[in-house]
Chain A
Amino acid sequence: RKEVEQDPGPFNVPEGATVAFNCTYSNSASQSFFWYRQDCRKEPKLLMSVYSSGNEDGRFTAQLNRASQYISLLIRDSKLSDSATYLCVVKRRSQFYFGTGTSLTVIP
């Protein structure tokens, strides 16, 4: 079983839409959680860390449910510039485990 599972999409949404990505992880001992963003032909970059209490950064909201081993990312008021692949990342001990990524295209 994979450490981190994501719906690969693709998600094609109009500008201004709200879109949600989900991710599950298999090991309950996982300690830290993140969403990364990867643009085409670029490196992954940290979008935000994810905390049990939930956290928000502008139009982006991340949630963690430890009981269900489930992580989510909500993007409100989508912009064209949000088009990218979003990677769910889980850290356990020293290692980072990546989902395969969810592709988002925001359409004018």
Chain B
Amino acid sequence: DAGVIQSPRHEVTEMGQEVTLRCKPISGHDYLFWYRQTMMRGLELLIYFNNNVPIDDSGMPEDRFSAKMPNASFSTLKIQPSEPRDSAVYFCASSSHGQGGANVLTFGAGSRLTVL
């Protein structure tokens, strides 16, 4: 299994630019989570999906952030316009909670975003 795949691994952009982060969850996993990690705030849940449907987006900081999951194998997190305070590592993670599911969260390698 290839695991959770995220791209890009690193992104450096200028304030005001649009940023799109991508995630491919583990095949068969029915939950997908987007987290943000900074030294100051630790790991924060931004949004999660179940069967491609957003369930809880209360962690999304503001309207500049949006996330979609058009199908079971792909999700995006978009920041428009980006600001320096958005600089962080963004992790995508997936899990399977159904019967027989491992009930364990598996993370991608993360996308390190720097906004200048």
Contacts and interface: CB of A to CB of B under 8 A. Distances in A.
A86 interface: no
B43 A94 contact: no
Interface of A: 32, 34, 42-46, 49, 87, 89, 91, 94-96, 98, 100-101
B116 interface: no
B33 interface: yes
B25 interface: no
Interface residues of B, number: 20
Interface centre among B45, B95, B97, B105 (most CB of A within 10 A): B105
A38 to B, nearest CB: 9
Given A49-B104, A95-B56, A101 B109 contact: no
B107 interface: yes
A43 B56 contact: no
B42 A89 contact: no
Contact of A34 (B33, B91, B104): B104
A38 B95 CA distance: 18
Given A32-B103, A94-B97, A42 B109 contact: yes
B55 interface: yes
Interface centre among B43, B56, B91, B109 (most CB of A within 10 A): B43
